[in-house]
Amino acid sequence: MSKRILVIEDDPDLGRLLEIHLRDAGWDVDQASDGQEGLSRALGGGHDLVVLDLALPGLGGLEICRQLRERPVWVPIFMLTARSAEIDRVLGLETGADDYLTKPFSVRELVARVRAIFRRVEATTGALSTSKTVTSGELTIDGEKRRILLSGEPVELTAREFDLLRHFAQHPGRVYTRAELLDAVWGYGHDGYSHTVNSHINRLRAKIEDDPSKPRYVLTVWGVGYKFCDSAERK
């Protein structure tokens, strides 16, 4: 069955360009030209991914992202922004976007990243069929509900932080390089962006570790990368 993508973009030329290339890639495309219409269509369900402009009339992309992430049904969100400041990118990711591109961008790169998101979702779905819940010490990762509990209390993670933690937890003790994590969790090579892994792990530790400077779950393997502790290593 063909994937269905909702494009929420107020620039008619860019919206049409995206529709053409996404349809050429084999996906069905719906369009919305303002924030309120886009949110209404997204909440209506039936889409496998939302391409979301940050600056929209009526209702901004960040607010749309927040409202979608409050829903129990999870859908990947790919954010587009004309803003290049680091704070805007971080806000988008912290709000729950799965990936982003800053305008102007290559449409071919966008299509490649959308493919990567779909590959990652399919791989994750396959993994969940055999292990829906992972427990490690006081940490519980519920893959089916995309929920994290620490000592029984919920922990709010972004979509990418959740995928990163779940990937680690499903392979305790295995050491991953930054490049391997980019490929496994982000779904594609991200040349020159190994610092992306570092920043996500730092934010993840701040949320799940009692003392992020002395982590118990996500451990650094100096000179190599990171790993999730196995039961023998847990302090």
The pLDDT, as a whole number, for residue 85 is 57
- C-beta of residue 29 within 8 angstroms of C-beta of residue 22: yes
pLDDT tens digits for range 217-232: 999 999 899 999 886 5
pLDDT tens digits for range 184-213: 777 655 554 567 788 889 989 999 999 999
- Tell me the C-alpha to C-alpha distance, in Å, between residue 80 and each of 72, 103, 110, 232: 24, 7, 10, 44
Two structure tokens written together for 145: 């509900």
Peptide bond into 154 cis (omega under 30): no
DSSP-derived 3-state class of residue 109? helix
Neighbouring residues of 32: CB distance < 8 A, sequence distance ≥ 6 = 6, 7, 8, 9, 38, 40, 41
Residue 83: how many CA atoms within 13 Å on its side-chain side? 15
pLDDT, tens digit only, all 235 positions of the chain: 689 999 999 999 999 999 999 999 999 999 999 999 999 999 998 899 999 998 898 898 889 988 988 877 778 899 898 766 555 666 666 677 788 888 888 999 999 989 888 887 776 655 544 457 888 889 998 877 788 999 999 998 877 788 889 889 888 899 999 888 887 777 655 554 567 788 889 989 999 999 999 999 999 999 899 999 886 565 5
Helices 107-128, 159-169: axis angle to 10 degrees equals 50
Using alpha carbons only, give the angle 201, 204, 210 rounded to the nearest 5 degrees: 115
